Structure 1
Amino acid sequence: MAIKDYLYANLMALFVSAGLIVFSLRYVVGETESKFLAIQGFEFFENRTKLSSYLTVIVVGLLFVTLPQRPKRQKLAPGIPIVGGSDIQHVKQNRKRFIHDGKSMLAEGYRKTKGGFFYVPSNCGERLMLPVKYLEDLKTAPIDQVDFVATFIEYLIFGEKDVRGLKDFQSADVMPAVQREIRNAFDAAFPPCEDWTEINVVERITKVVARVSSCMFGGIELSENEKWVEASIAFAIDGFHGAQKIKRYPHVLRPIAKYFISEIRSIAGHYAEAEKAAIPILEARQKAGEKALDLLYWMSDQAKGSERNMKFIASILLKVSFAAIHTSAAAPSQLIYDLCAMPEYVEPLRKEVESVLDPDGNIDKKSFGQLVKLDSIMKESQRFNPLLLITFERVVHTPYRLSDGFVIPAHTHIGVPTSSLLMDPDLYPDPTRYDGFRFAKIRTHEPNADASARAQYAASNPSSMSFGFGRHSCPGRFFAANEIKAIMGYLLLNFDMKFPEGKEKRPESLLFETQFLPNPTATVMFKRRKQA
């Protein structure tokens, strides 16, 4: 691209950036010298001479900053089809279409190529969808060539060090405390429900999950801290919306643009609440020499050097809450919709949960593995409603040669079309039929131990990619599986549920880019069961 063309392409971005910086200069210049006039949402200096000088300096400065950073133009692999057509007009149209129709676009590409390579247009460029046979080639690829974090930051605006430095946490021992907290969480989030009561599912289940997950994060003291729970929920919401908004800006403008996005500005307050909640717990434990089974203790115990800073630990805890709440609230919400649409599954599941309870009414560590039917319907619900349409997302920074010689061009976003894999008849017989006990049958009748293991909810393999694959597969998936089982077990034993009268159709999931979310406005009727 010629310098002239590059300047034309970026001129508007430069002037927008200049306007944003001028807006911020009132904090530097002072109110006496910089009386502002509000004009169409921007504020300009009354003194036009000063304004002209500032703009000149800013634009020239930005030119020096941006010109050396020549745009990383995406080069497409030859011969690979693009969903919706390869001419520039269709590509532009389909980038917009992907925002709300990505699922069908992925299905189209997967069907036409029979699970082969294809590009799908999106706002971050044409994403290259991979056949699963190449996962083994890529799962251990050097991170400087095939980068997991680049896509992770794109969605979650985490810092690179935060993502790569967080190790797995063994969470099984905290489950007894988590189950005790489930009762308190439902009492706090749900009304009495002595008679049929209409409840917004996603809203209330999110509150339950936020409190229950907080028990794993930092014990009862953290889970009972209402300001922390509210901040952890708001952080997940603001983080998601803030990430989507900042993606609209060119990379060079994002460090400036973030100050003008309300959700990102709100995040500072969430960090402050995290510090207020976590630091006193850390200080008290440090003073008393106490150990604990939760994530907060584990992180402080594992931290080295600058990572021992309590503010840093509190910030990581808040970031972990983002993923935990976002994923663990979606699964039970979707399953509640499924059970209301197919109530014939409720009683078999209820009996299975009752059969594994200990004398205290809890599910012990070993018994979670015996909930085969519940695990199965969770996986089937996930098959129909994967939280992410594309998994194994990576950015290939340099040309990368696969084992058969195919070269993935540099600056390519890659991924696997998980939503299409989950509807592949070669992998799942009669895939469009919802069979809640599909995977229970495999585990019960399949003599092959490996096949049985692959049929579990938390499995991560090329035919079951909802939790990713390889060294970056979700490390918290085993805790999430048990947490969801404990929440659904409590719900099944203590509540009857049904759709409101006249709303018997299952609520459709919300599709946004690669996200496939439970309907956030749908309601369900709940009524407490009378215990014998």
Structure 2
Amino acid sequence: MADLVSNTGAIVAGALALLSVKWYFSEPDLSAIPTVGYSNPILSYITAVQYIFNAPKLIQEGYDKYKDGIFKVATLDHWEVIANGRQAVEEMRQAPDDVLSFHEAVRRTLHVDYTMGPAIAQNPYHIAIVRQQLTRNLAALFPSVREELAQAFSDNIPIDGDAWVSVGPTLKTMMQIVCRTSNRVFVGLPLCRDPDFLKINIEFTIQVVKAGAMINMFPDVLKPIAGRLLTNVPSYINRSIKHLQPIIEDRRRQMKEHGDDWKGKPNDILMWLMEEANADEQDVRSLTLRVLTVNFAAIHTSSMSFTHALYHLAANPDCIQSLREEVDAVIASEGWTKTAMQKMRKVDSFLKESQRVDGLGALVMGRIALKDFTFSNGLKVPKGAFLSCAARALHSDEEIYDHPDVFDPFRFSNVRVQGHGEETKHQLVATATDFVAFGHGRHACPGRFFAANELKAMLAHVVSEYDVKLEDNKYPQNFSVGSALVPGTVNVQFRTRRRSSA
């Protein structure tokens, strides 16, 4: 035990020494920017540890103290400069990429070069595929989405007559459903139902984030070594190759024998990747990594968003009937189609309000300042700084939202009913300076149209097919890991929907 304590102490001391060296030599001069927590280079590690477990509170403190201004807060590996208010969101949206870089922020936060590979950072062609081809094909793909999510719910929630069935951990179950449904569109049947393939994609995101955090602890000169030694991401790529290689090879054989448009040609992400990839991206490993990267962006975000929404649904039984009436009426008219999803305004509002109240984190729009950047109010962010916007605090601002602490499920649909020419502004997929759950501007989440379509179909399915309630009527307390917000753990109970009051 003494040896363990001694070794642990040595590791911690070594890590702190590395961080101190890294900080001293690489951090820009942020002394002019006010600080939440400690500003002393040594004492700031106290704040950095607090940030791990209580970042939303620290960010809210900065938002309240420096309204429409900026402040900084220490994390374990850098100072985070945080901008507050709608004007800051708009000015960051307008900033050119060679001044405030989204891609550089992702690259340095996740250390993509060492986790996913430099090609992902240097040639992110999959983003255009998601933004354009996936969005254009939503109507054609919806029957597959609907079929898969219905089967995934049935497989993961074994209803037994009229009895209540307890489902938990809820987030884990929703990940299974979201991963299956998404991969029906990403790689198709039967692979989207393969348990090992689903496990790989669910775990891949966690491994990349963990590896990025570990690599960030080291000075730049040591990061290549840390990247080789501290990540097992390559093992996930190799496991995924075993699943995808035969599919890719079969599709290439079909293309060779029957041309580019053979009968039964899949209409999915994998096929679009194969068609759009450059010559040096056509090998199986590169295509596999792109599929994993698309899953990285889709699975955990949608799963956590739906888990939050499901908790709100189970905790607010009074609004279920209103949602059901809308879903039943629209489905009777339009069937289970993308058009039907567009007409479900209350479903859309419910999900958007859940995003406003909970969301995925306290910060959005992460950028690296490649040049000095000055806001219109004169506040300056120096080159090299990490910059982001306070999202959760913005969404809780009583000057922007009436009664922001109240979950109002039809807050946004009520505004849409009133008209005033702003119906589209209040849709779930719409970004604005006062709603930044998906970011804002040209770097807003490119997959949000697919994600919103999927989430709306899932919520419509739940209210159409099930009764739900929280086990022991206990609403879970969310918890934070850094700026990320994770749904608390509680079981949700399901039973077959009762069609009458009997």
The TM-score with structure 1 as length reference comes to: 0.80
Does 2:229 correspond to 1:276? no
| Conserved 8 A contact 1:258-1:264 | no
Deviations 1:342-374 (A, max 9, x none): 111111112211111158x94212221111111
Per-residue deviation, 1:400: 2.6
Does 2:53 correspond to 1:100? yes
CA distance in 1: counterparts of 2:119 and 2:400, whole angstroms:
37
Per-residue deviation, 1:329: 0.7
Which residue in the other structure is 1:322 paired with?
Answer: 296
Does 2:276 correspond to 1:295? no
Per-residue deviation, 1:512: 0.3
| Conserved 8 A contact 1:77-1:407 | no
Residues 87-96 or 109-118, more deviating:
87-96
Structure 2 regions of 5+ residues with no counterpart?
A: 1-12
**Structure-to-structure mapping, 1:134-213, within 5 angstroms:** 134-153=88-107, 154-155=109-110, 157=112, 158-159=116-117, 161-163=119-121, 164-166=124-126, 167=128, 168=131, 169-170=134-135, 171-172=137-138, 173-194=140-161, 195-200=163-168, 201-213=170-182
Residues 435-444 or 280-289, more deviating:
280-289
CA distance in 2: counterparts of 1:339 and 1:499, whole angstroms:
9
CA distance in 2: counterparts of 1:278 and 1:146, whole angstroms:
40
Residues 183-192 or 93-102, more deviating:
183-192
Deviations 1:139-185 (A, max 9, x none): 35443432212322314744454253331232412111110111221
| Conserved 8 A contact 1:396-1:412 | yes
Per-residue deviation, 1:15: 11
Per-residue deviation, 1:259: 4.2
Does 2:472 correspond to 1:510? no
CA distance in 2: counterparts of 1:250 and 1:447, whole angstroms:
54
Report the CA distance shift for 1:246/1:104 in structure 2 as closer, same or farther (over 3 A): same
| Aligned amino acid, residue 76 of structure 1 | L
Per-residue deviation, 1:77: 5.5
Which residue in the other structure is 1:124 paired with?
Answer: 77
| Conserved 8 A contact 2:45-2:76 | no
Q: Identity of paired residues, percent?
A: 27
Deviations 1:358-412 (A, max 9, x none): 58x9421222111111111111111111102110100113323445554321110
Q: Tell me the C-alpha RMSD between the 2 structures.
A: 2.8
Report the CA distance shift for 1:424/1:274 in structure 2 as closer, same or farther (over 3 A): farther
Report the CA distance shift for 1:165/1:140 in structure 2 as closer, same or farther (over 3 A): farther
Deviations 1:398-450 (A, max 9, x none): 3234455543211100000001000011111111111111111111113132x
Residue 471 of structure 2 aligns to a residue whose secondary structure is: coil
Which residue in the other structure is 2:389 paired with?
Answer: 416
Does 2:438 correspond to 1:467? yes
Residue 508 of structure 1 aligns to a residue whose secondary structure is: coil
CA distance in 2: counterparts of 1:267 and 1:156, whole angstroms:
17
CA distance in 2: counterparts of 1:377 and 1:182, whole angstroms:
19
| Conserved 8 A contact 1:282-1:310 | no
Residue 325 of structure 1 aligns to a residue whose secondary structure is: helix
Does 2:189 correspond to 1:220? yes
Report the CA distance shift for 1:402/1:159 in structure 2 as closer, same or farther (over 3 A): farther
Which residue in the other structure is 1:479 paired with?
Answer: 450
| Conserved 8 A contact 2:181-2:192 | yes
CA distance in 2: counterparts of 1:240 and 1:15, whole angstroms:
23
Report the CA distance shift for 1:269/1:522 in structure 2 as closer, same or farther (over 3 A): farther
Residue 466 of structure 1 aligns to a residue whose secondary structure is: coil
| Aligned amino acid, residue 492 of structure 2 | V
CA distance in 1: counterparts of 2:278 and 2:298, whole angstroms:
24
Q: How many residues align?
A: 465
CA distance in 2: counterparts of 1:376 and 1:399, whole angstroms:
39
| Conserved 8 A contact 1:215-1:223 | yes
Residue 457 of structure 1 aligns to a residue whose secondary structure is: coil
| Aligned amino acid, residue 450 of structure 2 | F
Deviations 1:199-238 (A, max 9, x none): 1111111101000000111222332333322221121232
Which of structures 1 and 2 has the bigger CA Rg?
1
Which residue in the other structure is 2:283 paired with?
Answer: 309
Residues 454-463 or 161-170, more deviating:
161-170
CA distance in 1: counterparts of 2:95 and 2:246, whole angstroms:
39
| Aligned amino acid, residue 217 of structure 1 | F
Which residue in the other structure is 1:21 paired with?
Answer: none
Per-residue deviation, 1:240: 2.9
Deviations 1:111-132 (A, max 9, x none): 1112321112222322111243
Does 2:496 correspond to 1:528? yes
Per-residue deviation, 1:193: 3.8
Residue 356 of structure 1 aligns to a residue whose secondary structure is: helix
| Conserved 8 A contact 1:117-1:130 | yes
Which one scores higher on RCO, CA 8 angstroms, separation ≥ 6?
2
| Conserved 8 A contact 2:464-2:497 | yes
Report the CA distance shift for 1:353/1:269 in structure 2 as closer, same or farther (over 3 A): same
Which residue in the other structure is 2:413 paired with?
Answer: 440
Per-residue deviation, 1:85: 4.5
Residue 128 of structure 1 aligns to a residue whose secondary structure is: strand
The TM-score with structure 2 as length reference comes to: 0.85
| Aligned amino acid, residue 180 of structure 1 | E
Structure 1 regions of 5+ residues with no counterpart?
A: 1-10, 17-65
